[in-house]
Amino acid sequence: MSAARPLPADLPRDLEAEILRLKKERNAILLAHYYQESEVQALADGVGDSLQLARAAQKADCEVIAFCGVHFMAETAKILNPHRKVVVPDLEAGCSLADGCPVDQFRAFVARHPGAKVVTYINSSAEVKAMSDLICTSSNAVKMVEHFEGQPVVFAPDRHLARWVAREANRPDLIVWQGICIVHEQFSAKRLAELRVKHPDAEVLAHPECDDAVLAQADTIGSTSRIIERAIESPAKTLIIATEDGVFHQIRRRVPEKTLLQAPGPDEGCACNRCPYMRLNTLEKLYLCLRDLEPEVTVPEEIRVRALRPIEKMLELSA
Ligand code: SF4
């Protein structure tokens, strides 16, 4: 990946208006993950979790996709849209899960389990996807593993999601790659228990990338979109949420009367529920990427074709 570009001194004053103008001029759509800052989400044509964004990318009708998320998400959009230009505000926006599963080590891991089907979380590189039988997101991971009932399954790269899926799908035999999300792993079970004592009527919502001791205290465990859905429909007036900070924007927009509390990290006042990779995407960089149509995300055709198959299979099975 290239080094981050310095910001020019002559950025327009009204960045939002310029981004909307450029979006039209470039025949671009802007897709943003729920973990983006609220001002980025506000400009997007589509906001969603990984599954919703993959679906939106599949249906894209435009010349350019400007993807505000992390690299593996933009790669997925490119895999689904080989003839469209996919640009991102910052190429350095990676992910600890994707980065923690290098293709050579993963190939050796899979080779140690001959005959096993490979179900890979979408938070992985195009190369790792290309080695997989099926891709999953946190919305559909249980269903994707159930698809291979009676067959050995390698599940990668998130160990916490894997543990939850193994329980939900009754697959204690899952063969698990031991990756972690540096954001979701930070939530402290001890401090969450203390917070619950202070708010006994609060409902706890958690993402399955969290540690088991956190999940054990959750009333609802689910993907980002499931957490938002439950936060809206829940009769509880106070919600404790164990996932990335960006989802608060969507929940506040829909149910402003509810009290939203962040599940605590290990230290008082830490901002550890903010993904540092996602936060690399700023309005300034979004403006520049639409103006210059770079940095562009590319995937070698041979890898793209192999990675497309398990992604399309997932979209078909979760339709
Ligand atoms: S929140 Fe975790 S899983 Fe999501 S992009 Fe950031 S590091 Fe990756």
Same domain (yes/no): 193, 168: no
Q: What is the model's pLDDT at position 1? A: 45
- Is 95's C-beta closer than 6 angstroms to any atom of ligand 1? yes
Which one-letter amino acid corresponds to residue 50? S
Same domain (yes/no): 22, 64: yes
Same domain (yes/no): 171, 197: no
Q: Say if 114 falls within a structural domain.
A: yes
Q: Say if 170 falls within a structural domain.
A: yes
Q: What is the model's pLDDT at position 268? A: 83
- Is 56's C-beta closer than 6 angstroms to any atom of ligand 1? no
Same domain (yes/no): 190, 225: yes
Q: What is the CATH number of the domain that holds 222?
A: 3.40.50.10800
- Tell me the pTM: 0.93
Same domain (yes/no): 200, 215: yes
Structural domain harbouring 250: 184-262
Distance 123 CA to ligand 1 centre (A): 8
Q: Say if 188 falls within a structural domain.
A: yes
Mean of the per-residue pLDDT values for the chain?
95
Q: Say if 225 falls within a structural domain.
A: yes
Banded pLDDT at 3 (limits 50, 70, 90): low
Q: Where is the domain boundary, 123, 153, 182?
A: 182
Same domain (yes/no): 151, 190: no
Q: What is the model's pLDDT at position 4? A: 61
- Is 70's C-beta closer than 6 angstroms to any atom of ligand 1? yes
Q: Say if 10 falls within a structural domain.
A: no
Q: Say if 271 falls within a structural domain.
A: no
Same domain (yes/no): 146, 198: no
CA-closest residue to ligand 1 atom 2: 181
Q: Which of 174, 60, 166, 164 is nearest to 116 (CA)?
A: 174
Q: Say if 273 falls within a structural domain.
A: no
Q: Which of 151, 116, 157, 115 is nearest to 136 (CA)?
A: 157
Same domain (yes/no): 109, 136: yes
pLDDT of 2 over the 80 cut: no
Same domain (yes/no): 148, 175: yes
Which atom of ligand 1 is closest in space to residue 98's alpha carbon? 8
Q: Where is the domain boundary, 182, 215, 230?
A: 182
Question: Mind listing the pLDDT tens digit for each residue in 254-305?
Answer: 999 999 999 999 888 777 789 999 999 999 999 999 999 999 999 999 999 9
Q: Where is the domain boundary, 218, 236, 262?
A: 262
Distance 181 CA to ligand 1 centre (A): 5
Q: What is the model's pLDDT at position 100? A: 97
Best mutation site among 95, 136, 177, 184 for ligand 1, i.e. most ligand atoms within 8 A of its Cβ? 95
Q: Say if 155 falls within a structural domain.
A: yes
Total domain count, the chain: 3
